[in-house]
Structure 1
Amino acid sequence: MNSMREIRHSIKYNAVMNMILTSSSVIFPLITVPYVSRVLNPAGIGAVSFAQSIVSYFSLVALLGIQTYGVRACSQVRDDEKELSKVVEELIVILGMSTTIVFICYIVAILFVPRFSDDKPIFYIFGIALWLASFGVEWFYQAIEQYGYITIRNIVIKIIGLVLMLIFVRDVHDYTFYGGIVVFTGYGANILNILRLWKLIKFCPLNELNIKRHLRPMRYFFISSISSGMYVQSDIVILGFIASNSVVGIYQLVSKIKSMLMMAINSVVNVMLPRLSYYAVNDKRQYKNLLTKNIAFVLLFASAGIAVASLNGAAIIDILGGVQYRGAITPLLLILPALLFASINTVLSQYLISSGREKQYAIVNFVGLLTSIIYCLTFIPLFGASGAALSSSLCEFTALIVRCVLSKEFISRIISRIQIWQAPLSAVISGMITYYSTVTWIPNNSFMHILVTCIIFSLLYTIALLLMRENITMAVLKRIVRK
């Protein structure tokens, strides 16, 4: 068994690897989404998206919150290889039992729920994802900070998925093939995880395991995982029951754009949880510094992302979807505020998880689920896809307020070190100047529109941040000057 210390890398290395992974997660959709959107049309895309959202609900129950709990549990014992192996095996046994029960319920639902039985083939295909999601042990690789392996593995799978998509998705009737490829690209790498796990973990006899010790601490992760996962997907699920597959397909494009932007914004933040869990026990000063930096990164990149997407909303929709998806422009603008709220929510969730406040973490996610259902049932019947987008932004904002209240003691200790208004204000000012200075002459070509707008905004945004002496920007400038 390889030494865990030998395969562990620095935060900078992990951040670079995660940024490469995130870049691939943005680049590949930029290739596949325009192609698939035009081949399958909104109805085909909507059918796949609805099935994917439904199976994610079942998967959340099967996972029992282990995708988050596992990172913390493994991070805390990662220096003890024998104990780490035991923890991993215990969690896999728990997943085996839960997934079996959930899969039976899933098959029953396909057979007896009319909305599901209308598209049985696509739902059966996504049933495979239930098993792959449960046994991918991604939480283990995150805990031991194997971001190099995670990055290479995912990029290879994405390339294979791209080739399969170009070969098998050729007309509007191929949406079942597309569903299978979505399952492969999303979960196929998990098979490699399991195969590689045998080299890193030494499994022990079942009678030496202590499964019960995980059940109590897992309960809050279970509640929060189901709640957060359901409220993230509730807009598409409720829209799928109320509206047609075509409307779901239009909104799915909006949701995919939001996801790509979120991945880009959180590319650095997401690698911090294992190290935060470690620092929470071993180094309180580093723990506080790391969380403060996370908030600063989020404010800087989320503000820029919202501004750029707002300036180029119509152009982005034209490139990724085409004329059939023009109805997605308004929903896209309405969902953009969720980027900032959700990114800050991610950081505050890291604080609650890494500091052992699972109960508060569960409470905020449960509140998020309830408010999401209320918002969706209120606005979707009135405004369709636009109502779903508005609900998403309102839900993330409500969850942010609750998280701030629950984290007020921690926030009060670091608030003096956080520059709250510099990045958002710089983005607003730069965005307005960019819009009014280009509105009369900017090219009609969508690619050129985005290119010109991004260049001008980036220059103005950098200048504004320097004038306001934003910490990260000033630190980068000083490093450049020294060199």
Structure 2
Amino acid sequence: MSVKKNYLYNLIYQIMVMIVPLLTVPYVSRVLSAKGVGIFAYTSSIAQYFTLLGMLGIGIYGNKMIAMTRDNKKEMSENFFSIYFLQLIVSLGSVLGYLLLVLLAVRSDREIALIQTITLLGTVIDCTWFFSGLEMFKKIVTRNLLIKCLSLVAVFSFVKGPGDLDLYTFIMCLSAFLGQFLMWFYIRNRIVRVKITGRSVRKHVVPVLMYFLPQVAMQVYFVLDKTMIGWLSSKSEVGIYDYADKIQKVAIAAVTSLGTVMLPRMAHTFITGQKDQAKKYIMKSLDFSTLLAVPIMFGLAGIAREFIPWYMGNGFVECATVLILISPTVFFMAWSGVFGSQYLLPLGKMRAYTISLYVGAVVNFLLNLVFIKPYGSIGASIGTLAAELSVTLVQIYFVRNDIQWKQILPKTVLYVGAGAVMYTVVSLIGRSMGVSIITTFVQITAGVLSYTAMILAAEYAGHGGIILEEIRRKRPSYKSNG
């Protein structure tokens, strides 16, 4: 299947993973309040550590191995069974460890924490990486559309007040589990029966651990923020930060989806020796990611103050400041997604990739310690922004000799300039119209039109200059005879 179709399918997939929480935000934020939302986010953050442990680095490693061997059905099947057997052992151990922690150490919100176990059970049967490696994103999208729509209906039908936090948690966790379960109905005809041995399983242990190390770092600055806010501040602050983070993640799905699609394609391209083609993919991907990330970044910052109050209610007004602070991470994650997921990982440069993520994790942890206690969710935003910037800078250092900077930097300056104009337009509209859903609609429409107009005008001017230069070059010269 083409990269364009896979990108569109994965874009839908990434958006659907986040869309249900966003569609329910105006309702849930008012029904459960910031505290209830914070309790869910805090217990979920703890469960996610064990999800990480249960999957090791299998999500990315399995994706890559299936992509590399998909032309040989027997070899691909051997990889699938041996990798999944390893996943089964580790994930079951992770579930047991989480249950022991909750029963022995968790005092408040234990019931909610126990319900989160359902999400961990989804990790045990997770085989999404197999279909990603085959670039079969249509299957993944179909599954999520069905499950997410059902969970959306369930939330509005059954969650009626603060006392229904346990029911809300159950619905969200069960939807994640069912999403993984349904994928097994598609897998039967894609593999053949093969015999696996202890040796075939053990050969994947070291590579999986190599992919696990960067995942630990990613978890530190994707999830640790919420855990540390819960430790050092309050559950309400967790809820404020969590909802700003959800909005930002949905917005960036348009950009990060390309990295998920390109990982198996780049792995297959490199393994078949098509290095020149791989470099073309990288440059096109970087240009496209930047083109999308810049208006998303400026757009989020521009609409935040008028959008948050009507969307979430007055209890989440502080969420606007958090969203503005973390909006530049959209741009940083777009670039690190290209350099990391589409270049360093497919090439097997795990050391460079891991170093970049650990630098980000350390920066995030240290700044969280300094800023969360006095500033709560705003302090965590500072740590997140600094972490993403540091990851991007380190990855730029490692790929500095392989990227055609003279080609990408002028376009980046153009996109940022157009984005700045867009931000000015959107902000002026917000100040003049005030807080309302109509304001947000007008802001988004005006932002899209102004950014697009600026890009098209620059492209037209650039082509016009090229044409004039070509005319001058071809024009015959007449010398005077005196």
Q: Same fold (TM over 0.5)?
A: yes
2:352 maps to 1:365:
no
The residue that corresponds to 2:154 in the other structure is 164
Does 2:274 match 1:313? no
- CA separation in 1, counterparts of 2:244 and 2:52? 23
- What is the match of residue 292 of structure 1? 283
**How far apart, in 2, do the equivalents of 1:320 and 1:470 lie?**
38
Residue 337 of structure 2 aligns with which residue? Answer: 346
Q: Which runs of 5+ in 2 are unaligned?
A: 464-482
Asked whether the 8 Å contact 1:348–1:407 carries over to 2, the reply is yes
**Secondary structure at 2:149's aligned position in 1?**
helix
TM-score (norm. length: structure 1)? 0.90
- Tell me the TM-score normalized by structure 2: 0.91
Is this contact kept in 2: 1:59–1:134, CA < 8 A? no
How far does the alpha carbon of each residue in 1:164-196 deviate from its partner, in whole angstroms, 9 at most, with x for none?
A: 112221110111111111112333210012333
Partner in structure 2 of residue 378 of structure 1? 370
| 1:386-425 pair list within 5 angstroms | 386-411=378-403, 414-418=404-408, 419-425=411-417
* Correspondence for 1:98: 90
Map of 1:248 onto structure 2: 238
Distance across 1 between alignment mates of 2:90 and 2:13: 30
How many angstroms apart in 2 are the aligned matches of 1:170 and 1:268?
38
Contact 2:299 2:426 in 1 (8 A): no
What's the % identity of the aligned pairs?
26
Return the alpha-carbon distance in structure 1 between the equivalents of residues 460 and 238 of structure 2.
40
Shift of the alpha carbon at 1:221?
Answer: 0.4
**Distance (Å, rounded) in 2 between the aligned partners of 1:314 and 1:441:** 12
Question: What do residues 344-369 of structure 1 show as CA deviations (whole Å, max 9, x unaligned)?
Answer: 11111121101111122122222222
Task: Report what 2:228 is aligned to.
Answer: 238
User: 1:469 aligned to 459, 471, 475, which one?
Assistant: 459
Give the one of 74, 78, 82 matched to 1:82: 74
Using the alignment, how far apart are the partners of 2:284 and 2:146 within structure 1? Answer: 32
Q: Is the 8 A contact 2:426 2:444 kept in 1?
A: no
Distance of aligned partners of 1:429 and 1:43 in 2 relative to their CA distance in 1, 3 Å threshold = same
Confirm or deny: 8 A CA contact 2:77 2:193 kept in the other structure: yes
Mapped pair 1:119 → 2:112: no
1:190 to 180, 183, 208: 180
5+ long unaligned stretches in structure 1: 1-8, 475-483
Deviation, structure 1 residue 108: 2.0
Using a 3 Å threshold, how does the CA distance of structure 1 residues 464 and 68 change in structure 2: closer, same or farther? same
C-alpha distance in 2 between matches for 1:171 and 1:55:
24
1:226: which partner in 2? 216
CA separation in 2, counterparts of 1:167 and 1:225?
36
Match of 1:429 in 2: 421
Alignment partners' CA distance in 2, 1:316 and 1:26 = 18
Residue from 132, 136, 142 that aligns with 2:126: 136
Residue equivalent to 1:273: 263
1:417-443 Cα offsets, whole Å, 9 max, x none, are 31221111210122224434x35642x
TM superposition shift of 1:103: 2.1
Any conservation in 2 of the 1:53–1:233 contact (CA below 8 Å)?
Answer: yes
Instruction: Summarize the Cα distance change of 1:455–1:410 in structure 2 as closer, same or farther, 3 Å threshold.
Output: same
Deviations along 1:249-269, whole A, 9 cap, x unmatched?
Answer: 111111111111121332334
Does structure 2 retain, via aligned residues, the 8 Å contact 1:26–1:264?
no
- Offset of 1:79 from its aligned partner? 0.5
Superposition deviation, residue 43 in structure 1: 0.9
Gap change, CA 1:464 and 1:157, over 3 Å in 2: same
Where does residue 459 of structure 1 map in the other structure? 449
Whether the aligned pair in 2 keeps the contact of 1:375 and 1:391 (CA below 8 Å) is yes
The aligned length equals 459
Between structure 1 and structure 2, the one with the greater Rg is 2
Q: Which residue number in structure 2 is paired with residue 479 of structure 1? A: none
The answer as to whether partners of 1:74 and 1:87 remain within 8 angstroms in 2 is yes
* Residue type of the alignment partner of 1:60: L
Cα pair distance change 1:372/1:134, threshold 3 Å: farther
Tell me if structure 1 keeps the 8 A contact 2:57–2:212: yes
How far the C-alpha of 1:104 sits from its partner, in A, is 2.3
CA distance in 2, matches of 1:425, 1:68: 35
